[in-house]
């Protein structure tokens, strides 16, 4: 199977339809996002998520995140409390991945036994429309584990092997999302990205001091 690249900037409707069909068929698709290109599969399809792990070269004791259309859809995947609602209301769509307890009935195949899941609503119209169409989408950056993340579609396609559908949305920003663990008390920043600790505090969510870059 050869790699198929669709220019999502030229025909977003065709790109959306092709990606929806591929994901529903159990395929893995490379998508542009507001941060980096993502290697994606339907989050509800354990076999497809396993293929994603294999493409990534990632062991199953590591997690992948889930992209959602909005905060309501996120609650299909995670158990959301007040802190989640505050963060999603203020900082979504955007580069913030929120780690919460996995919702009952959602599969454990997203890694690390599936007790917790990181969810994100990206500031990218096409990806949000796709998630609204097909449901929550499992994702990880489109590179082999431990290697640099390409900034464009062609680089992402070659990084994880051929034979995939790729939506070309032009160069991505290349900056990772901030990952915030709400299962810790206080919340803990697992990875500092675009969203700062100060932005998180401003919406009323405290974070552990040792994770804040301005606390050094």
User: How does pLDDT run across 142-194, given as a tens digit for each residue?
Assistant: 998 888 888 899 999 999 878 999 999 999 988 899 999 999 999 999 999 99
CA angle 176-179-185, nearest 5°?
165
Beta pairing class for 165-168 and 29-31: parallel
Mind listing the pLDDT tens digit for each residue in 103-144?
Answer: 987 777 887 667 899 999 999 999 999 999 999 999 999 998
Does pLDDT of 41 surpass 90? yes
- What is the domain partition of the chain in residue ranges? 4-215
How does residue 210 score in pLDDT terms, banded at 50, 70 and 90? very low
pLDDT of residue 209: 64
Task: Please write down the HEC assignment for all residues of the chain.
Answer: CCCEEEECCCCHHHHHHHHHHHHHCCCCEEECCCCCCEEEEECCCHHHHHHHHHHHCCCCCCCCEEECCCHHHHCCCECCCHHHHHHHHHHCCCCEEEEEEECCCCCCCCCHHHCEEEEECCCCHHHHHHHHHHCCEEEEECCCCCCCCCCCHHHHHHHCCCCCEEEECCCCCCCCCEEEECCCCCEEEEECCCCCHHHHHHCCCCECHHHCHHHC
Residues with Cβ < 8 Å from 148, sequence gap 6 or more? none
**Average pLDDT of the chain?**
91
What percent of the chain has pLDDT above 70?
A: 93
pLDDT of residue 148: 86
CATH number of 4-215: 3.90.870.10
How does residue 216 score in pLDDT terms, banded at 50, 70 and 90? very low
Does pLDDT of 80 surpass 50? yes
Spatial CA neighbour of 34 closest among 147, 133, 125: 125
């Amino acid at each position: 199977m050869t790699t198929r690249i669709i220019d999502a900037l030229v025909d977003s409707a065709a790109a959306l339809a092709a990606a929806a069909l591929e994901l529903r068929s159990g395929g893995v698709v490379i998508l542009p996002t507001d941060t980096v290109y993502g290697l994606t599969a339907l989050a509800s399809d354990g076999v497809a998520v396993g293929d994603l792990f294999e493409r990534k070269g990632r062991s199953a004791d590591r997690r992948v995140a889930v992209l959602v259309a909005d905060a309501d859809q996120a609650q299909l995947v995670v158990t959301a409390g007040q802190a989640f609602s505050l963060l999603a209301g203020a900082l979504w769509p955007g580069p913030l991945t929120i780690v919460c307890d996995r919702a009952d009935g959602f599969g454990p195949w997203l890694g690390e036994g599936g007790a917790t899941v990181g969810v994100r609503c990206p500031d990218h119209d096409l990806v949000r429309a796709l998630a609204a169409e097909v449901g929550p989408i499992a994702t990880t950056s489109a590179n082999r584990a431990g290697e640099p993340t390409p900034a464009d579609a062609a680089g992402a396609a070659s990084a994880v092997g051929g034979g995939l559908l790729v939506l070309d949305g032009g160069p991505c920003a290349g900056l990772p999302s901030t990952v915030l663990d709400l299962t810790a008390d206080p919340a803990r920043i697992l990875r500092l990205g675009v969203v700062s600790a100060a932005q998180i505090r401003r919406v009323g969510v405290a974070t552990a001091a040792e994770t804040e870059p301005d606390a050094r």
